[in-house]
Structure 1
Amino acid sequence: MLKLQRKISIPVYILFIIVLFGVVGISYSIWGNASVARGTEVSDVTGQAMPEVTKVVWWHSMGGENGKVVDKLVTNFNAVHNDIKVEAVYQGSYYDSLTKLKASFGSKIGPTLAQVYDIGTKFMIDSKAITPMQQFIQQENYDTSQLDEAIMNHYVVDDTLYSMPFNASNSLLYYNKDMFKAAGLNPEKPPLYFDEVGQAARKLSRDNAWGAYFGIQSWYMEQFVANQGAELVNFGNGREGLATAWQLNGSEGVKVLTWWKELVDSKAAVPAAGKSDESKKWFIDGKVAMILDTTASLRDILNGVNGRFEVGTGFFPKAPGDKGSIMVGGGSNWIMNNKSDAEQKAAWTFIKFISEPEQQAFFHVNTGYFPITKAAYDQPLVKENLAQFPQFGTAIDQHQASEMSRASQGGVLGVYPDARKLTENAVNEALSGVKTPQEALDAAAAAINAKIAAYNSQL
């Protein structure tokens, strides 16, 4: 029996030691994880203190190739900041993303930082869910003079910069230089005025190809009106008082839609009521000679055409005598106020990073959005890109030629997304002959004004 007890006692003793070390290991693991959760510093394998990591979740609407560029910006940032980790999450279209953001208000499931398109500005301010960018700017005396003033002012309301511009764009005329040559038109002189566009479109409409295809976008109507120096809504485009009336049914809007319908009726422009994505595809396929689209489509168009024909870019069309200016489009980034101070400051650090000249140069060259930081134009990458692809210079030239005014600053109203949908329906009705341009725009304005009144009554 004694021998048997000795044989058993050895493994029991070893088992006791193993259990003891296991308990110590589990305790250490729990303590270590708890330390990270509390945000205290822990040591890595070298014994050096590791900094607390603050996570920033960024919701954005940059899909496709532009999404890859955004991911690269995030990777660049995370590589040089070991105390902050930004996680970019694609949320679909601008409209879908804003809808999801609205649903997240009042909960902890929302992001730290959110990209919102320009027409969501008023709603975001009224939501009370954001920390104005002006607060961070004042806290550290951030130099805003380095930013493009016209772009920045688009997001300034009541002398406060509520969000930081990120992706800035305007509308351009894209045209097929090869088709221009074949039609006897000067490929180096794109049409600028309404009558010139019409004449060119009629000459280009031949051999199973259309002269023009303008996708149904309210943004184009708004640009046409701003180019005439007219404001979209009353009270200084909603910047000198609460907007109460949509004004796209004024003489400026009617003139544009009448001209547009004449192009369609003369069979110089595609009568289909498609969106810009469809017109862009037709252009890339060589089925149409001229389209309107955002500067942000330039890289996609060049890649899609892939040298099969020469792509030209021109200023957005206008009527002779128009002295207005083009509006800035795109989106900006907003910081949510339901996150900790540390998280908000981390988001601000990321915003500053992607606003730096080097990052803006990379973003501009790979997307077509123009830089929000003036010094980006001095970057070798931008200069080399312009030399290789002069089409990028058109948006820059058009932007810099525009004078700042209430009209070019853009409208501010809480129901802007709804207003755009109703306006697009009106354009459809006018082009298809269901209503006259005046009747269609009047009906849309009445519906939009009712929505504005309902929104304002809740403020």
Structure 2
Amino acid sequence: MAIRHFGAAAAVAATLAFAAPAHAVTEIQWWHAMTGGNNDVVNRLAEEFNASQAEYKVVPSFKGGYADTMNAGIAAFRAGNAPHIMQVFEVGTATMMSATGAIKPVYQLMKDAGEPFDPKAYLPAITGYYSTSKGEMLSFPFNSSSMVMWINKDELKKAGIKTPKTWPEVFDAAKKLKAAGHSTCGFSNAWATWAHIEQFSAWHNVPIGTRANGLDGFDTVLKFNSPLHVKHLQNLIDLQKDKTYDYGGRANAGEARFGSGECAIFLTSSGYYGTAKGTAKFDFTSVPMPYYPDVEGAPQNSIIGGASLWVMGGKKPEEYKGVAKFFAFLSDTNRQAKLHQESGYLPITRAAYEKTKADGFYEKNPTLETPLKELTNKEPTENSRGLRFGNMVQMRDVWAEQMEAALAGQKTAQQALDDAVARGNAILRTFEKTAK
């Protein structure tokens, strides 16, 4: 009995040995901040890559909003269990660049893995943001976007309003929408500081800070308490009183107010397209951000938002090889074109953009070309190349806090922006002490 039992067990073990794969699949952990339709896109990309080969398995994990994901990744690195790939929003770039040893630069990753990689294949407006002054790409562009103005065409038509182009026209349209029944919201926005400080400044070709908004190095001094910035915030304060303008919050939670039809004019990311497509029960489009027509040279060009994929340090060579293969997979022209067309995020490669144009996609879907037209509206200047400030996540909260105080009538527009600049400069000086 004992001998027969041993023999049967051995046979089972032998069968399992033959059935097992020749080697274990290497898992690649990917932490991200995508929600709604874009979360589905992330999961599908991972599934497609996993099905395309048998050596690696990308495991995506949602870790909350952009700031939450970045903070979780930094904490995990300190604890020795960081993911292989971490999605970090664009304003976290300076912080990630200064984290020596915490990251594996993408240009080095691709070179070590022997994967084809040409930085010139990617759109320069995007890659410049994530590269060193020598053109070495530090992170992999993923969901790049810009800010656009979303329009509920049905509601504007019903109220007899033409699509506004300038800020005065937006204010006038919002008042008419209020009169037509939009009692709680004439217009609004998500990402308050991105809308009314960062993109606003670039679009009007005025500095957020010195030294090309930090792109040219440390010791930058913030400048967004200028007369133009004060005028704009004062206009928002005045319109907030009767909700012609209604503050939409620091992050993107307010976007649901556009999809529900509550706010017929709404400024937020072009990457909102996937969610708008799945929630809005009305005809909508996106148009360029508004501008003040009395500002010489406006509009200038917009700057990118969204996020890139950073590779964390301290991983095994075979794991890095899997990450490199995944990035090569993501760069495929057809895949990039499809990703752009479905999500609303920008095509990260020149080839994907050209393919989308050649296929006539923008003729039927002009909404998705809006951010590309904004980014390329004019040759970038020192004020509109982008920004690179350390501890930007904390600074955005400080800036938003001051804006909120002004909108609540607790400070004047000038006081709020003066305080935002002063506190922001203090944060920059603290960052420089640790980063230099």
Contact 1:232-1:246 within 8 A present in 2 as well: yes
- Give distance in 1, aligned partners of 2:345 and 2:378: 16
The one of 109, 115, 119 aligned to 2:91 = 119
Q: Deviations over 1:214-236 (max 9, x none)?
A: 34611112100111223323322
- Give distance in 1, aligned partners of 2:244 and 2:133: 42
State how 1:51-130 maps to structure 2 within 5 Å.
53-128=25-100, 129-130=102-103
The 3-state SS of whatever aligns with 1:174 is strand
Q: Which runs of 5 or more structure 2 residues have no equivalent in the other structure? A: none
Instruction: State whether structure 2 residue 3 is matched by structure 1 residue 19.
Output: no
What is the number of equivalent residue pairs in this alignment?
425
- Give distance in 2, aligned partners of 1:323 and 1:157: 28
Q: CA deviation at 1:385?
A: 5.4
Aligned-pair RMSD on alpha carbons? 2.7
Q: CA deviation at 1:156?
A: 1.5
The one of 253, 256, 263 aligned to 1:288 = 263
**Which letter does structure 1 place at the counterpart of 2:178?**
S
Provide the residue aligned with 1:255 in structure 2: 231
Provide the residue aligned with 1:311 in structure 2: 284
Q: CA deviation at 1:407?
A: 2.8
Provide the residue aligned with 1:235 in structure 2: 211
- Give distance in 1, aligned partners of 2:43 and 2:15: 33
Contact 2:38-2:275 within 8 A present in 1 as well: no
Contact 1:168-1:330 within 8 A present in 2 as well: yes
Q: CA deviation at 1:311?
A: 1.0
Contact 1:217-1:276 within 8 A present in 2 as well: yes
Provide the residue aligned with 1:9 in structure 2: none
Q: CA deviation at 1:268?
A: 6.5
Relative to structure 1, the CA distance from residue 246 to residue 305 in structure 2 (aligned partners, 3 Å threshold; closer, same or farther) is same
Instruction: State whether structure 2 residue 143 is matched by structure 1 residue 143.
Output: no
Q: CA deviation at 1:278?
A: 5.2
Relative to structure 1, the CA distance from residue 203 to residue 382 in structure 2 (aligned partners, 3 Å threshold; closer, same or farther) is farther
Provide the residue aligned with 1:40 in structure 2: none
Instruction: State whether structure 2 residue 170 is matched by structure 1 residue 197.
Output: yes
Instruction: State whether structure 2 residue 284 is matched by structure 1 residue 302.
Output: no
* Rg comparison, structure with higher value: 1
Relative to structure 1, the CA distance from residue 325 to residue 456 in structure 2 (aligned partners, 3 Å threshold; closer, same or farther) is same
Relative to structure 1, the CA distance from residue 52 to residue 236 in structure 2 (aligned partners, 3 Å threshold; closer, same or farther) is same
Provide the residue aligned with 1:339 in structure 2: 315
**Which letter does structure 2 place at the counterpart of 1:257?**
L
Contact 1:183-1:203 within 8 A present in 2 as well: yes
Q: CA deviation at 1:405?
A: 3.4
Q: Which runs of 5 or more structure 1 residues have no equivalent in the other structure? A: 1-13, 33-42
**Which letter does structure 1 place at the counterpart of 2:156?**
F
Q: CA deviation at 1:374?
A: 2.0
**Which letter does structure 2 place at the counterpart of 1:316?**
M
- Give distance in 1, aligned partners of 2:254 and 2:358: 28
Relative to structure 1, the CA distance from residue 426 to residue 415 in structure 2 (aligned partners, 3 Å threshold; closer, same or farther) is same
TM-score (norm 1): 0.84
The 3-state SS of whatever aligns with 2:87 is strand
**Which letter does structure 2 place at the counterpart of 1:161?**
M
**Which letter does structure 2 place at the counterpart of 1:328?**
I
Contact 2:187-2:264 within 8 A present in 1 as well: yes
**Which letter does structure 2 place at the counterpart of 1:403?**
E
State how 1:410-421 maps to structure 2 within 5 Å.
410-421=386-397
Instruction: State whether structure 2 residue 104 is matched by structure 1 residue 131.
Output: yes
**Which letter does structure 2 place at the counterpart of 1:422?**
V
**Which letter does structure 2 place at the counterpart of 1:18?**
H
Relative to structure 1, the CA distance from residue 431 to residue 382 in structure 2 (aligned partners, 3 Å threshold; closer, same or farther) is farther
Q: Deviations over 1:54-76 (max 9, x none)?
A: 22111111122211111111111
Instruction: State whether structure 2 residue 383 is matched by structure 1 residue 397.
Output: no
Identity of matched residues, %? 28
The 3-state SS of whatever aligns with 1:88 is strand
Instruction: State whether structure 2 residue 346 is matched by structure 1 residue 359.
Output: no
Instruction: State whether structure 2 residue 194 is matched by structure 1 residue 219.
Output: yes
Q: CA deviation at 1:301?
A: 1.7
Provide the residue aligned with 1:428 in structure 2: 404
Contact 1:361-1:381 within 8 A present in 2 as well: no
Contact 2:174-2:245 within 8 A present in 1 as well: no
Relative to structure 1, the CA distance from residue 405 to residue 132 in structure 2 (aligned partners, 3 Å threshold; closer, same or farther) is farther
The 3-state SS of whatever aligns with 2:194 is helix
Higher deviation after alignment, 128-137 or 114-123: 128-137
The 3-state SS of whatever aligns with 2:27 is strand
Q: Deviations over 1:377-415 (max 9, x none)?
A: 354799475455432222232233243333333221221
- Give distance in 2, aligned partners of 1:239 and 1:216: 22
Contact 1:429-1:440 within 8 A present in 2 as well: yes
Q: Deviations over 1:320-360 (max 9, x none)?
A: 23253101000001111200122112101101211222222
Q: CA deviation at 1:98?
A: 0.8
Relative to structure 1, the CA distance from residue 426 to residue 144 in structure 2 (aligned partners, 3 Å threshold; closer, same or farther) is same
